[in-house]
Amino acid sequence: MYQIQKNLNRLLNNQSTFFLDPREQELLKSKLKKNDYSIYRPYKDSEKNIFYNVDIPEVILYEIKCNRVLKHQDILGSIYGLNISSELFGDVLIINGHYYVYVLGIARNYFENYFLKVGNTNIELIERDLSILENYEREYEELELNVSSERIDTIISTLINTSRSIIKDKQKDKEILVNYELVKDISKTFKLGDVFSIKRLGKYKYMGIK
């Protein structure tokens, strides 16, 4: 709740928030009236967004240039390896072999000075005009699974083709999040629209029974 209160205080002082994930956005909305804020979305269906009520915040779009193929989790892991807060950067995107990350202006110097590698591979950051991705919409792969129930452990074990006991281990190791929160009980069932992620394996959205 500290994170939400901090961002609420910023809005009340006519400052923009930092980047907020979807759960943080919903929590902040619950404490505000609709006319109390606007939302800056870097692109059409961006996940991490910024609330403001006076000035649109300074946001930078970097393209990450590299001489090898990169994975989303490798880029994200290297950014977290900089020991900075996740509130200072937005979504990481991979589009047709190009790699992008949104960064708050206040973190510009830090990123340019220290985000020099993904894994052991040297990279170059090139600032791009925000307009090049403003109409970007994610493409999703649709998966259909035959499962015995809507339980979290049942669906995830089928999805990644492993046993429910291994899913239990992943939950204990804090590798499974549902709606951006660590899962405490994997015997619970998914609800329509739940977003869940499995560390190193990807992010998914539960679309219900067909």
pLDDT tens for residues 133-185?
Answer: 999 987 778 889 998 889 999 999 999 999 999 999 999 988 898 988 888 89
Domain co-membership, 45 together with 86 = no
What is the reported pLDDT for 166?
Answer: 93
Domain co-membership, 83 together with 128 = yes
Domain co-membership, 63 together with 83 = yes
| 2 assigned to some structural domain | no
Domain co-membership, 174 together with 111 = no
| 142 assigned to some structural domain | no
| 23 assigned to some structural domain | yes
Domain co-membership, 63 together with 48 = no
pLDDT band at 110 (very low <50, low <70, confident <90, very high): very high
Complete DSSP assignment for the chain: -HHHHHHHHHHHTT-----B-HHHHHHHHTTS-GGG-EEE-SSTT-SSBEEESSSPPPEEEEEEE-SS---HHHHHHHHHTT---GGGEEEEEEETTEEEEEEEGGGHHHHHHH--EETTEE-EEEEE-GGGGTT------------S--BHHHHHHHHTT--HHHHHHHHHTT-EEETTEE-S-TTSBP-TT-EEEETTTEEEE-----
Domain co-membership, 78 together with 125 = yes
Per-residue pLDDT tens digits for 113-144 = 999 999 999 999 999 999 999 999 877 788 89
Residue 1 has pLDDT above 80, yes or no: no
35 vs 118, higher pLDDT: 118
pTM: 0.77
Domain co-membership, 22 together with 67 = no
| 5 assigned to some structural domain | no
| 176 assigned to some structural domain | yes
Final residue of a structural domain among 106, 133, 160: 133
> Would you state the structure tokens that stand for residue 166, as one six-digit string?
């291994």
Domain co-membership, 67 together with 96 = yes
Domain co-membership, 92 together with 129 = yes
Residue 202 has pLDDT above 90, yes or no: no
CA 142 – CA 144 distance, rounded (Å): 7
CATH number, residue 68: 3.30.70.330
What is the reported pLDDT for 16?
Answer: 94
Domain co-membership, 45 together with 77 = no
What is the reported pLDDT for 124?
Answer: 97
Total domain count for the chain? 3
Domain co-membership, 70 together with 122 = yes
| 3 assigned to some structural domain | no
Domain range for residue 110? 59-133
| 141 assigned to some structural domain | no
CATH number, residue 159: 3.10.290.10
| 139 assigned to some structural domain | no
CA distances from residue 165 to 21, 52, 73, 102, 136 in whole angstroms, order as listed: 30, 45, 24, 37, 39
Domain co-membership, 66 together with 119 = yes
